[in-house]
């Protein structure tokens, strides 16, 4: 299978899986919210946000796996590959056992730090124990995911995830309709990923075909993983500070119900970012491959074309959320939560500029040049926490959103483009022009079409929302098709083939 064919297959499967995830989340979230209520739903988000900090203890092992599996596959070094995987599995197993201790301890003291309603105190403790334990167990089981990504077999990751997501959604709907509550929803949510990890482990073992045993647990391999992963660890910590502290801060200074109102706007921004991330994830192992063989021309091509592709995907979603954000929220969870639109706007603008450069992050990881990125985003994360805490009391959830948006905007504008252009020897103006001119141009007709549709048929419900989105999407798709056929090499080649056929 050629590199281009594999990339297209991986992107198609990633978007297919993501479409299912977003669709299920989009329709399942209001269903859970209206069955559980604001307090229970906010508590659910809070617990998963707290236990999500367990991801910090990955220490960058997963990113090391992706990087070195891709590198050793490119060089054909099976011995080093066996040492890498066995050492990572041993490290993950130790981490999982260690984390069971703070999980048990935290379940007793979760009410000491957050405003948890008395009626949900027992549920909060049990839910923390269940979710934390499953995440600790997920460390050794999750090694298969890193292996499959390093082998660029994203489609295996995606389709196992699709099946698990559909089963999870069906079980949650069934449980809530039968009168079960927060705990059952939590157990269902954490059980399916563990099952998927076991299935992925079978695929990884069959594809990798390496020996397992204690003699392959190697100090040199551990040092290799630690050196690469230490920088990634800084980025993991920064990611938690940048994007996952909001629920904790709001739960500490405001209430669980306030988390719900914040999360609605933030969730829509997350959905848009996930679409772009699923596209850009293929560039990490691809960049590792080209960097290993010294093909910098391909790296520059990936840098410009990959970021352009991210912008072509992110910009129209931003247009939809800016023009129709109130309609989307009203149709999604009801008019009661339209006030979350201001949170959506505040977070969306810097997130758009940052997500349009997602490929840059992936290339830095692939080239092992992500140390400067780690330092910058760590500073950004600390600034996010300080600003959010300072602003959340006087301004509420809006203040927390502003505290998140300002540092992210600084990173996206003043660091990332300059740093990447310097690493690859490309002028900043050339990168900005080639990557973002056409994605911006193609959004202008879409903006006009959506504004006209909103004035003529303001969307309050899903049918009206779908009509507006179809019109705006058709206008953007026509422009994107013109760009593909007139500017992209694959489009030009397709035009020549079609013309030759009819001639």
- Written as six digits, the tokens of 472 are 């705006």
- Written as six digits, the tokens of 227 are 């050196």
The radius of gyration of the chain from alpha carbons, rounded to an integer in Å, stands at: 23
Query: What's the whole-model pTM score?
Result: 0.69
- Taking the CA atoms of residue 299, residue 300, residue 302 and residue 306 in that order, the dihedral angle to the nearest 10 degrees is 140
Give the model's pLDDT for residue 501: 63
Give the model's pLDDT for residue 93: 82
Q: Which residues of the chain have pLDDT under 50?
A: 1-2
The contacts of residue 137 (CB under 8 Å, 6+ apart) are 96, 194
d(CA 53, CA 43): 16
d(CA 470, CA 136): 43
Give the model's pLDDT for residue 247: 76
DSSP 296: H
């Amino acid at each position: 299978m050629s590199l281009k064919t594999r990339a297209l297959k991986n992107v198609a499967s990633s978007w297919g899986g993501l479409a299912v995830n977003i669709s299920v989340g989009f329709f399942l979230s209001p269903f859970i919210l209206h069955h559980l209520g604001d307090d229970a739903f906010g508590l659910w988000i809070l617990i998963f946000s707290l236990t999500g900090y367990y991801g910090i203890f990955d220490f960058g092992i997963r990113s090391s796996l992706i990087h070195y599996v891709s590198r050793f596959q490119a060089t054909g070094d099976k011995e080093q590959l066996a040492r890498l995987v066995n050492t990572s599995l041993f490290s993950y197993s130790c981490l999982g056992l260690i984390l069971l201790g703070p999980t048990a301890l935290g379940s007793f003291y979760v009410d000491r730090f957050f405003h948890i309603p008395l009626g949900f105190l027992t549920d909060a403790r049990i839910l923390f124990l269940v979710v934390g334990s499953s995440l600790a167990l997920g460390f050794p089981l999750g090694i298969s995911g890193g292996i499959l990504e390093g082998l660029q077999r994203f489609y295996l990751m995606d389709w196992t995830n699709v099946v698990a997501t559909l089963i999870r959604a069906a079980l949650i709907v069934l449980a809530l309709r039968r009168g079960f509550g927060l705990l059952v929803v939590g157990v269902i949510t954490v059980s399916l990923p563990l099952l998927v990890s076991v299935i992925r482990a079978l695929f990884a073992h069959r594809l990798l075909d390496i020996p397992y045993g204690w003699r392959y647990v190697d100090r040199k391999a551990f040092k290799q993983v630690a050196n690469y992963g230490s920088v990634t660890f800084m980025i993991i910590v920064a990611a938690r500070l940048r994007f996952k502290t909001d629920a904790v801060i709001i739960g500490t200074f405001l209430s669980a119900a306030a988390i719900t109102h914040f999360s609605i706007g933030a969730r829509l921004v997350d959905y848009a970012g996930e679409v772009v991330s699923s596209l850009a994830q293929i560039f990490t192992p691809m960049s590792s491959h080209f960097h290993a063989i010294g093909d910098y021309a391909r790296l520059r091509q990936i840098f410009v074309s990959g970021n352009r592709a991210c912008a072509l995907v992110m910009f129209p979603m931003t247009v939809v959320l800016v023009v129709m954000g109130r309609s989307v929220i009203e149709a999604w969870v009801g008019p009661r939560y339209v006030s979350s639109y201001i949170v959506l706007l505040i977070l969306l603008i810097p997130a758009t500029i940052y997500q349009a450069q997602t490929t840059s992050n992936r290339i830095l990881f692939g080239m092992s040049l992500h140390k400067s990125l780690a330092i910058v985003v760590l500073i950004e994360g600390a600034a996010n926490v300080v600003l959010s805490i300072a602003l959340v009391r006087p301004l509420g959830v809006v203040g927390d959103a502003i505290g998140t948006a300002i540092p992210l905007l600084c990173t996206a504008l003043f660091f990332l483009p300059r740093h990447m252009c310097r690493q690859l020897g490309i002028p900043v103006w050339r990168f900005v022009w080639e990557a973002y001119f056409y994605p911006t141009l193609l959004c202008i007709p879409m903006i006009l079409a959506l504004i006209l549709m909103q004035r003529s048929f303001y969307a309050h419900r899903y049918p009206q929302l779908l009509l507006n989105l179809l019109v705006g999407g058709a206008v953007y798709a026509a422009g994107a098709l013109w760009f593909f056929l007139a500017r992209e090499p694959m489009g030009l080649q397709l035009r020549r083939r079609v013309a030759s056929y009819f001639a």
